[in-house]
Structure 1
């Protein structure tokens, strides 16, 4: 079974980093409504666009998603 995006994102956490993906991961950790079991790009993207005020740019999500896809292949 494929790892959820959230589970992958949690492997990117680093509270002492300035890397945007790592900061996104740090912030998503505290988002109790994040779709934690999802592997669907559209579902996660829509959620972030509507709810994630901690994500300054969707390009950070796009980069995170690409890292996720690369790690799953």
Structure 2
């Protein structure tokens, strides 16, 4: 069974590293409304565009999504 994007993203958390994907993961951890069960690019993208004020650029989400897909192969 495929894990959700959020479950994968939480494996990327690192409070010391300043990598953009890791920073995204750190911030998403505190986002109580993040769609934690979703593995759908469009719904996650829409959510982040409307609510992800902690995400400096959607390019960071795109990079994280590519890493997520690669990890699920």
TM-score calculated relative to the size of structure 2? 0.99
Give runs of ≥4 in structure 1 deviating > 4 Å: none
Deviation at 1:66, TM superposition (A): 0.2
Unaligned 5+ segments in structure 1 are none
Query: Alignment length, in residue pairs?
Result: 73
| Cα shift readout 1:15-42 (whole Å, capped 9, x = no counterpart) | 0111000000000000000000000000
Q: Provide the TM-score with structure 1 as the length reference.
A: 0.99
Structure 1 residue 37 corresponds to structure 2 residue 37: yes
Once the two structures are superposed, the pairs formed by residues 1-73 of structure 1 within 5 Å of their partners are: 1-73=1-73
SS in 1 for 2:67: helix
